[in-house]
Amino acid sequence: MTADLAIVGGRVFTSVKDGLFVDAVAARGDRILALGEDVFDLIGPRTEVHDLEGGLATPGFIDAHVHPVTSGLDRLRCSFEDCSNAEEAVASIAAYARDHPGEEWVLGAGWSQDWFDRGCPPGELIDEVVPQRPVLVWNTDGHGAWANGRALEMAGITSSTPDPPDGRIERNPDGSPQGTLHEGAVSLVERVAPANTRDDMLRGLLRGQEELLRHGVTGWQDAAVDPLTQDAYRQVAEEGHLVGRVVGALWWDRHRGLEQVDEMTERREQGAPGFSPVSVKLMLDGVAENFTASLTEPWLDSNGLATDNAGIDFIDPEDLGVIVAALDARGFQCHFHAIGDGAVRNALDAVEAARSQNGPSANRHHIAHIQVVHPDDVRRFAALDVVANAQPLWACNDPYQIELTRPFLGPLRAGWQYPFRSLMDAGARLGMGSDWGVSTANVMEEIDVAVTRTCPDGEPLVPGEALDPVDALIAFSHGSAYINHSETETGSLGVGKLADFALLDRDPFRDGPFRETRVAATIVGGRVVYEGNR
């Protein structure tokens, strides 16, 4: 028997701690045939041989929290990914409007809050370049948007418009809308903007999948699947174009009730090859940068004094316990968004209530983001069998952290941020995701921050929470595969497992850093699906 594919000429990282590195790996069909020295005896005249040229092969990465459909669609609209300041952002809006005269609205995403005072861009900046057409563009984290005067006018937002319970309209001194909308306030404009179509979602998914494959990601959990997104996945899968192995987290509408459990149970049966909608996304709070993340104690003001704002609980904690118990009883996995320590605690309390009511389960509930975790709650992850789903790119002193977060948390809570090492030391399982398009889909950059806790040329953020490179790479492969209930097939390399690989242009363990490492090729089921330049 000969191999269909062999990877040689460098080291192979298995994500199995008993044998982390081997010399080579071979596959036949879509399965791994051999590892190590045995591979060389299986190479025949028709074997497709990939020479790493001193690089590293790893299991295909699994992204445990990502938004490929909307992020792909955003790249096809007004995108700010090449911008670095407010002037360039305004120029991008003007250029998009000029180049797309037939579009009734200018829609897009990706501007950064640190480009603007207090993270709040004024609408008149857009009015100066696009005065007649409505413009609505989301920021990078998806928790706020920038609208021009025409969009606000069409939505009927005036100085007398009250803030919705789950959001805030940024205002000028006279009370008029300033142009920035936070959290649920964005929906006031969205309801009059054109809705996404099925074709939009299909185009977005294919573009998003292309981006993930380019970075060696062969499986993921889509962290916000509404019915239209689910339809897109099913169509792409049924037509044979879904390359990645996907778990869908069905979006829980916080404005509705428990009737959704029956609806989601029905939707869970509407999967497709390579797409399993078996998780439920529960959005518990906002984000730190606009002070909507839920804290156990209030946010501070610019003078370091306590305010009366402890963030927003999007789901009442008592209701959350009932919701999680109901989902857990139906066998759903709960995928929590929790930024602040209050939201993290609410998620843990809800899982504890579900365990008490339903008994132990194998549902693998997990909490994403975990920016601020109270020290009293670190050990509860392992005790409750809750997986920590980390997005490591943010665990550094970037402008968001320096200007919009640390001063308002205060020095004590600033030291509770992204406690990856503490969670692992306390026995918690750790998986990782990118949250692209909030951040990059580049796994190597994500791992670099997990290991260094720094941005380029920056000071480390809580350096004692840095991970060993091996642990970080395992978290982005086997750890996330565990979250997706796919660890017996993917996330690590072993004979009989699926032949999913990322081939790197260097061995970052030897030749580092991870940040400068690139994916040379991505292989799914023994088939090359992306090949770049070395």
Model confidence over 418-456: pLDDT tens digits? 999 999 999 999 999 999 988 999 999 999 999 999 998
Report the pLDDT value the prediction gives residue 291, as an integer from 0 to 100: 93
Are 5-59+496-531 and 198-483 in the same CATH fold?
no
Query: Would you say the pTM of this structure is higher than 0.85?
Result: yes
Print pLDDT tens along the chain (534 aa): 899 999 999 999 999 999 999 999 999 999 999 999 999 999 999 999 999 999 999 999 999 999 999 999 988 889 898 899 999 999 999 999 999 999 999 999 889 888 998 889 999 999 999 999 999 998 887 779 999 999 999 999 999 999 998 889 999 999 999 999 998 999 999 999 998 999 999 999 999 999 999 999 999 999 999 999 999 999 999 999 999 999 999 999 999 999 999 999 999 999 999 999 999 999 999 999 889 999 999 999 999 999 999 999 999 999 999 999 999 999 999 999 999 999 999 999 999 999 999 999 999 999 999 999 999 999 999 999 999 999 999 999 998 899 989 999 999 999 999 999 999 999 999 999 999 988 999 999 999 999 999 998 789 999 999 999 999 999 999 999 999 999 999 999 999 999 999 999 999 999 989 999 999 999 999 999 999 966
**Superfamily, domain 5-59+496-531:** Urease, subunit C, domain 1 (2.30.40.10)
DSSP string, 98-166: HH-TT-SSEEEEEE-GGGSGGG---HHHHHTT-SSS-EEEEETTSSEEEE-HHHHHHHT--TTPPPPTT
- Say what the pLDDT of residue 110 is: 86
Rounded Cα gap, residues 95 and 307, in angstroms: 41
Neighbours of 330 (CB within 10 A): 15
Domain boundaries, the chain: 5-59+496-531, 198-483
**Rounded CA separation 393/171 (Å):** 31
Residue 305: φ, ψ to 5° = -100, 150
Q: What CA–CA distances, in Å, run from 185 to 20, 142, 166, 209, 223? A: 49, 12, 7, 30, 21
Separation of alpha carbons 390 and 369, rounded Å:
5
Q: Is 324 strand, coil or helix?
A: helix
Give me the pLDDT at residue 355, please: 97
Closest by CA position to 429, among listed 462, 465, 471, 373: 471
Looking at residue 457, what is its pLDDT?
75
Residues whose CB falls within 8 Å of the CB of residue 35, separated by 6 or more in sequence, listed in order: 12, 14, 22, 24, 25, 26, 493, 494, 495
With CA atoms as reference, report the closest residue to 346 among 289, 297, 279, 296.
296
According to the model, what pLDDT value does residue 113 have?
86
Would you state the pLDDT for residue 114?
Answer: 85
Hey, what CATH topology would domain 198-483 get? TIM Barrel (3.20.20)
Q: Would you state the structure tokens that stand for residue 510, as one six-digit string?
A: 């030897």
The set of residues, in sequence order, having a beta carbon less than 8 Å from that of 231 and lying 6+ positions away, is 198, 201
Q: How far apart are CA 172 and CA 21, in angstroms?
A: 59
Could you count the other beta carbons within 10 Å of the beta carbon of residue 531? 14
